[in-house]
Amino acid sequence: MTTRPYVLLSCAMSIDGYIDDATTERLLLSNDSDLDRIDAVRAACDAILVGAATVRRDDPRLLVRSDRRRAHRVARGLPPSPVKVTVTGSGDLDPKARFFALGDGAKLVYCPTGAAEKTREQVGEVATVVDVGESVTPAAVLTDLAARGVCRLMVEGGGSVHAQFLTAGLADELHLVVAPFFVGDRRAPRFVGDGRFPWHPGRRARVVEVRQIGDVVLTRYALSDRCDGG
Ligand SMILES: NC(=O)c1ccc[n+]([C@@H]2O[C@H](COP(=O)([O-])OP(=O)(O)OC[C@H]3O[C@@H](n4cnc5c(N)ncnc54)[C@H](OP(=O)(O)O)[C@@H]3O)[C@@H](O)[C@H]2O)c1
């Protein structure tokens, strides 16, 4: 049996736990140094996953920015940037979104059978649409990614996908950055909503690193014994 990919969750939030505000503008939580750190983490992964709402709202590129890191990947026989991955239940994705339009690497879209036709109509020419059956689960996505040779997956949000990997017990490591301000608006999305998480007062996660990066703080949590803290 193929080992499931190592799963690293990455999130930036405000002091009061929001990952965005309630405006239509994208909220910048990280600073330049932290964005460079994230670039290094991306460069060390085989695939990056975000939810379809993040594709629609943030229109992220999800490419390795640094020339040096891209060259290093190519020298190792890898594509310049990791495979881009998203999940959708609606198929409501724009082929002109930067997720699809930028970068020559593979783009994978996981959807349930009920949305497969619409998803293929929308983005079938710019991505590989994977019908995973009745519903999309983190386990099904990981099984398929493993079969495609993905050993290390970075999950960059939003909250819905983070919550699913966490509650399924399918996360190995969490990089949580706290920005030094409050959002203070309950209409804004939080890191995760309600759920039965494997880490609770009776089972605390292990902190493997705390690092100040300019005005933000990164905490790295080990969420499984696959995370060695290195
Ligand atoms: N601060 C950060 O680090 C960070 C990082 C990323 C995003 N964000 C923010 O997070 C917010 C978006 O988060 P979100 O929780 O609303 O959305 P999300 O997790 O980005 O995406 C949710 C969407 O993904 C699809 N999806 C998720 N799980 C699925 C499943 N099991 N089966 C089928 N489809 C599934 C659905 O798409 P369909 O609607 O197409 O069915 C769902 O509406 C944005 O405000 C963004 O700015 C913040």
Report pLDDT for 193. 87
176/21 Cα distance (integer angstroms): 17
CB-CB neighbours of 230 under 10 Å: 5
- Region 157-181: mean pLDDT is 97
Structure tokens at 162: 């983070």
The rounded distance, in Å, linking the Cα atoms of 147 and 77 is 19
Q: Looking at 23-112, list the stretches that DSSP marks H as alpha helix, in order from N- to C-terminal side.
A: 32-43, 52-58, 67-75, 98-101
Ligand 1 midpoint to CA 51 (Å) = 4
From start to end of the chain, where are the E strands?
6-13, 47-51, 83-87, 107-111, 128-131, 152-155, 173-178, 206-213, 216-222
Share of the chain above pLDDT 90, in %: 96
CA of 162 to the centre of ligand 1 (A): 9
Which tens digit of pLDDT belongs to each residue from 105-115? Answer: 999 999 999 99
Confidence of residue 229 (pLDDT cuts 50, 70, 90): confident
Residue count of the chain: 230
Q: pLDDT tens across 64-78, in order?
A: 999 999 999 999 999
Atom in ligand 1 nearest the alpha carbon of residue 92: 40
Peptide bond into 158 cis (omega under 30): yes
201: number of Cβ within 10 Å: 5
Q: Is 115 in the pocket of ligand 1 (CB under 6 A)?
A: no
4-29: pLDDT as tens digits: 999 999 999 999 999 999 999 889 99
Binned at pLDDT 50, 70 and 90, residue 141 comes out as very high
Ligand 1, atom 32: closest residue by C-alpha: 136
Tell me the pLDDT band of 2, cut-offs 50, 70 and 90. low
pTM over 0.85: yes
Q: Is 109 in the pocket of ligand 1 (CB under 6 A)?
A: no
* Confidence at residue 12, expressed as pLDDT on a 0 to 100 scale: 98
Quick one: average pLDDT of 136-152?
A: 98
| Model confidence band, residue 117 (pLDDT cutoffs 50, 70, 90) | very high
C-alpha to C-alpha distance for 210 and 204, rounded to whole angstroms = 16
In degrees, rounded to 5, the angle at the alpha carbon of residue 151 between the alpha carbons of residues 147 and 156 is: 110
Q: Given a cut of 70, is residue 202 above it in pLDDT?
A: yes
Q: Is 58 in the pocket of ligand 1 (CB under 6 A)?
A: yes
Give the per-residue pLDDT at 230: 67
* Helical segments of 89-213, H only: 98-101, 113-123, 138-147, 159-167
Read off the pLDDT band of 208 (50, 70, 90).
very high
Residue 2 CA to chain centroid, in angstroms?
22
Which pLDDT does position 84 carry in this prediction? 98
Best of 11, 14, 15, 19 for a ligand 1 pocket test (most atoms within 8 Å of beta carbon) = 19
